[in-house]
């Protein structure tokens, strides 16, 4: 069984961190103490992630790097060349975690094809760990039958205080699968939530830190994105923030199924 505990619980989302400014933002995050960087073929940030890690002076094994195979690269002829291209672009021999970014609707590309290709990429040494993103429970069950239970270490999905995905959360817990929360702050929108603001005032912190601490207390990996030193430091402070049972219960009441990312290619969500 794969070791999902090897994934640092706090990561940095790198969508939008492109060019020199992107490199500087990622370098800053590494300076502050982030050790988990999340990129993707479709983000155009694989190069900036690699360059930031090289400029940081950190050893390769000190930084956990995740990338994702785009749904446009899942066909058999495209999958492995795209993975090798990602490695070349980042400038590494292996990523720590390789994900399928989106499942292909209606199995236009056979599910079995790209899932076995994902495992083959791991077997070839291109990825230490493998997982998925935006998968439903049905997808996860099909993957477990195909690859074996525990082969996948995470399902990366949108999770935040307003979208707590209880059905997926409970399934993942029962299956021993960690969820990685993307958009954990809904691009800063949660900072306006009155409940989060009240808890933040009580604890002398920020609403964003409260939201992130809640998600981590629920057992999720989180990958908030920012280029601001202040926000990067505040977000990282969430790792040392303890919420009471009353705080947790109050935040659980905020779930209203608000989904921020829902393109037409989305599967039929469980929550």
Instruction: Look up 258 and say whether it is catalytic.
Output: no
The matching CATH number, chosen from 3.20.20.100, 1.10.490.10, 3.30.1360.70, 3.40.1710.10, for 4-187+215-227 is: 3.20.20.100
- Domain boundaries along the sequence of the chain: 4-187+215-227
CA distance 29 to 23: 10
The mean per-residue pLDDT over the stretch 74-84 comes to: 98
Which residues make up each annotated binding site?
101
pLDDT above 60 for 78: yes
Q: What is the pLDDT of residues 24-43, one digit of tens each?
A: 999 999 999 999 999 999 99
The mean per-residue pLDDT over the stretch 8-19 comes to: 97
pTM for the full predicted model: 0.96
Q: Closest Cα to residue 74, out of 47, 49, 99, 97?
A: 99
pLDDT above 90 for 2: no
Q: What is the pLDDT of residues 216-246, one digit of tens each?
A: 999 999 999 999 999 999 999 999 999 999 9
**Mean pLDDT for all residues in the chain:** 97
The answer to whether residues 156 and 132 touch, using CB atoms and an 8 Å cutoff, is yes
Q: What is the pLDDT of residues 88-128, one digit of tens each?
A: 999 999 999 999 999 999 999 999 999 999 999 999 999 99
Q: What is the pLDDT of residues 145-199, one digit of tens each?
A: 999 999 999 999 999 999 999 999 999 999 999 999 999 999 999 999 999 999 9
Which residues make up each annotated binding site for substrate?
101
CA distance 45 to 42: 8
pLDDT above 50 for 1: no
């Amino acid at each position: 069984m794969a070791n999902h505990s090897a994934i640092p619980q706090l990561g940095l989302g790198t969508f939008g961190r492109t060019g020199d400014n992107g490199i500087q933002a990622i370098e800053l995050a590494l300076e502050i103490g982030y050790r988990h960087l999340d990129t993707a073929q479709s983000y155009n940030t694989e190069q900036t992630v690699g360059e930031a890690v090289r400029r940081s002076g950190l050893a390769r094994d000190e930084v956990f790097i995740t990338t994702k195979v785009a749904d446009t690269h899942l066909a058999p002829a495209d999958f492995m060349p795209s993975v090798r291209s990602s490695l070349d672009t980042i400038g590494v021999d292996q990523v720590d975690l390789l994900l399928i970014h989106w499942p292909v609707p209606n199995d236009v590309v056979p599910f079995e094809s790209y899932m076995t290709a994902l495992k083959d990429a791991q077997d070839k040494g291109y990825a230490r760990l493998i997982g998925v993103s935006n998968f439903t429970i049905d997808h996860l069950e099909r993957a477990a039958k195909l690859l074996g239970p525990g082969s996948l270490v995470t399902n990366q999905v949108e999770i935040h205080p307003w979208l707590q995905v209880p059905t997926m959360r409970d399934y993942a817990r029962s299956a021993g699968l960690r969820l990685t929360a993307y958009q954990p702050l809904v691009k800063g929108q949660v900072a306006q939530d009155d409940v989060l603001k009240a808890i933040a005032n009580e604890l002398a912190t920020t609403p964003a830190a409260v939201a992130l601490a809640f998600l981590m207390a629920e057992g999720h990996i989180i990958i908030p994105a920012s280029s601001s030193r202040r926000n990067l430091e505040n977000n990282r402070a969430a790792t040392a923030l303890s919420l009471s049972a009353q705080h947790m219960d109050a935040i659980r009441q905020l779930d209203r199924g608000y989904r921020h990312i829902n393109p037409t290619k989305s599967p039929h969500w469980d929550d």
